Every structure is written in C-alpha cells, then in structure tokens.
Amino acid sequence: MSGVLALALISSCVEGPFEHVNPNDPAVEFTMSIVASRDTVTTDARVVNFRLVTDPQITGYEPAWSATPAGLAVHLGGGTFVVVAGPPTSILITASYLGRSVSYNLTRVP
C-alpha cells in the first residue's frame, strides 16, 4: 500500500512534455479567426453569419459578438448580424473569447 502511495506522489510531481491546453491560461497559445458568409452587404442581402475558429479547437465556450460603430449592425445571436441599410461604410465585427478578441472588417454598400 505504501508503495502505491509513494508512486502516486512521485508521479504527481513529474514534469514532462505534456501538452498544455488550458484556454484560460494567458500563456497558452492559440489562434483565432473569423469566418464570414460574406464580406460585403447590400440592401438586398443584409444578413451575415460569422463563426469563430480557434486552433487548436476549443469547445465549450461561446464568443461575445459586437459591432462597431454601434447601431450599424444588429446582433441576432450566435454570430448572426443584420446590417442596417445606409450609405457605404465599414463595420468592424468583433468576437471576444476567453479574454482575447479578433475582428473582421465588413463593408456595407448601397
């Protein structure tokens, strides 16, 4: 019994080449990018779907989406936005995820 306990204690202190994938740890490196259903919106096609992609893939978390300037795109949930009609402009769509963020430039044309 004491041999098993000693082995468990020793193995818990061993450092090795173990992969470190805790996404909450700022030291963990992962990349993020946004994939969009389109990069330009018109008055005829104003709904745009965005998806956050991480490498390595991290599951169990949902990004917080936002649009800048405020009021030019309405977030419907799950990365889907409806762009408000208006003159040509750029809209920055941002996904915040685990303390990090990435943005995508969307163009609105008449």
Domains, the chain: 2-108 (2.60.40.1930)
pLDDT at position 62: 92
Which pLDDT band, with edges at 50, 70 and 90, does 102 fall under?
very high
Which pLDDT band, with edges at 50, 70 and 90, does 76 fall under?
very high
pLDDT at position 20: 54
pLDDT at position 59: 82
- Nearest residue to 25 via CA among 63, 66, 58, 51: 58
Indicate the pTM of the whole model. Answer: 0.76
